[in-house]
Amino acid sequence: MDRVEVSDFYPSSCVPLTRRGFLSLAAKGLGAAAGLSLAWPGNVSAAKVEQWTETGMRGLIDRHAVAREDPWRILHAIRGRGKEFTLSGGESAVRYVLSTYPAEQEINGKRVLYFPIAVEAHTNLFLNNLLEAGASRSFAFEAHGRRYTLEALIDGAKARFDLAKVHPNDIAWSLVSLTTAVSPVVGKWVNAEGRSVEVSEFVERAFQIAEKATEEVRRAWMQNQPLAGKSAIHDFTCGGTHLIYSLVVAVRNGYQVRNGEQRLRDQLGMLVYRMWADLDLMDRFYAKVPDPSRPPAWWFKLDAKWKLLGHAFEVYHYALAHRLVHPTPVETKVVEAARPVLRHLAQEVEKVDLEAVRGHNLDLFRQLVGDTCHAYRGVHLA
């Protein structure tokens, strides 16, 4: 095998690493806890962390997320760097995407604006990122010869949304968008096809899907044991981290479900557990791949870990900022042990020849850029 697909979900040493082992290694400042076989000093100064985020991560985003033909990368840059992110010549990235890539659709005589799935990959991914980057709902732009505001995209999302038709792996971005745009005081509407939409039902369904997908993870988590193998949650985009994040956003925006506090606490507890357990699983996965320490396998392994930890810290720091996570002492130790691992991964990503990655696998190149945007936001939410 000379190629590992991004979706295959990722890597560890042949000997499973227990949580105690992870904490012990991290306490010694060893990147081996992430399967990197490289030392990372445990007393990295805040100045060095800041230097990486602003010169390394930010520089990577500024160089590689500005391709006008790839709005997916641009929207991830907007997510990471904020609504003021600009393209060459100082052009607003928000205005460029809104003016260039939306489509119009007639539904029962009503014209709605939206981004095609071929452009954004997941329904309402672009709207999600724009809203979370702080773009104003009154932001005006021209598309298809007409003048619109961002509110038109919100209206389009509501008009086109049908809970009965949403795929489980397409939930997260719509859940963030709709719970952000629609107050729980209102919480419902009739879509363009005349079907009633109850956002609270959507939130409950998202919780149920997350709980079903993490059943195997829960068993290992409760026993403080390594994961035996991949489970359903690992087959979701970015290991299901988007789904967990969307639950946090929904609760933060005031949407309540039965036993919501405990259910969210469980999902966040399992995500913290995965900060070591998933990396261990990844190491064992890539141990079976020829030349796992060399490209291209090394690129996939690195991105798998970068993806998981970068997204996990984005979720965790968002929840922490809004007082929606109350870590136990053990969970705090796991999180603090994972921080130097994330920094080490960041250093490794900075060394990667992204043009070589692009030549080998365009999707992996795009993933590395997008994952850096998530990690950048995650670091700055702290």
Cis ω on the peptide bond leading into residue 296 (within 30° of 0)?
yes
Instruction: Please name the helix (run of DSSP H) or strand (run of DSSP E) that holds residue 104, with its range, or none.
Output: strand 103-107
Which has the closest alpha carbon to 42: 64, 17, 68, 23? 23
Measured in whole angstroms, the distance separating CA 140 from the mean position of its chain's CA atoms is 28
The CA-CA-CA angle for residues 377, 381, 382, to 5°, reads: 130
Name the one residue in this structure whose structure tokens are 């990295």. 44
Average pLDDT rounded to a whole number, residues 40-62: 62
The answer to whether the CB of 244 falls within 8 A of the CB of 237 is no
Lowest model confidence (mean pLDDT) among 33-47, 117-131, 178-192, 216-230: 33-47
**Cα angle 117, 187, 101; round to 5:** 20
Q: Is the pTM of this model over 0.95?
A: no
User: Of 115-129, 164-178, 277-291, which range is least confident?
Assistant: 277-291
d(Cα 184, Cα 334) in Å, to the nearest integer?
Answer: 34
Return d(Cα 283, Cα 378) in angstroms, integer. Answer: 23
Q: Give the pLDDT band of residue 8 (cuts 50, 70, 90).
A: low
Tokens found for residue 52: 């990486």
Quick check: 139 pLDDT over 90?
yes
Calpha distance 128→377 (Å, rounded)? 14
Nearest CA-CA partner of 32 in 46, 44, 47, 42: 42
More confident residue, 73 or 8: 73
Q: Kindly report the average pLDDT of the chain as a whole number.
A: 87
> Residue 180: how many CB atoms within 10 A of its CB?
17
Q: What is the pLDDT of residues 177-232, one digit of tens each?
A: 999 999 999 999 999 999 999 999 999 999 999 999 999 999 999 999 999 999 99
107 band by pLDDT with thresholds 50, 70 and 90: confident
